Chain A
């Protein structure tokens, strides 16, 4: 069945460092791909999405490109801030479900 695999955490970075969180997927057909973010004490909220191959989703300085050839949707940010500390979930949406990865915890230290 469909699934999402994302890199294990936790990840700790210094402020202004470059961030990559890896995400790969298995799916039939042509799913849409998402990154959700969960700040402490809150529910998940959509960060960005891409709906077809080679699409790039972007928001708040974060980017991810839908790579069908490598079945990947890696999240990147060029310069992280303390306020980016959160748990990040990769997800896919297909015809019959949403599938979420296990989440990657990011802590950014000043």
Chain B
């Protein structure tokens, strides 16, 4: 039971470099999300995808792009990394979008440092 798989687990970038964080789920969920976790700030939503072929901005989308490649995969791209993007990134999925009783399933996270 893999659930939600994120790669890589750790990454160090220099300012201005680009990279893509990969996420895949094997639960046939329709909705997927990218969050960032910063000390004292909880989880903040970057982007989400209600279903295959759709993406929308969350609370903190600036500096990021996303691709919902298919139903399983949802990637997050940093085009030009900045130190302010140093954070832990979590991918999550759910059967339905924003359904009140819906449970989120999370990946194990990517710890990103931008120097």
Contacts and interface: CB of A to CB of B under 8 A. Distances in A.
B7 to A, nearest CB: 13
A98 B102 CA distance: 10
B98 A46 contact: no
A45 B103 CA distance: 9
A4 B44 CA distance: 12
A95 B106 contact: no
B41 to A, nearest CB: 6
Interface in B1-41: 4, 6, 40-41
B76 to A, nearest CB: 15
Interface in B22-78: 40-43, 45
A46 B94 CA distance: 12
A9 to B, nearest CB: 10
Contacts of A43: 4, 6, 90, 92, 106-109
Main DSSP-derived SS at the B contact region: loop
Nearest to A39: B108
B108 A32 contact: no
Interface of B: 4, 6, 40-43, 45, 90, 92, 98-109
Given A89-B42, A93-B101, 19 more contacts: A31-B100, A32-B100, A32-B101, A43-B107, A43-B108, A44-B90, A44-B104, A44-B106, A45-B105, A45-B106, A46-B104, A49-B103, A93-B100, A94-B100, A98-B45, A98-B104, A100-B42, A100-B43, A102-B41
Interface of A: 4, 30-32, 34, 36, 41-46, 49, 51, 89, 93-98, 100-103
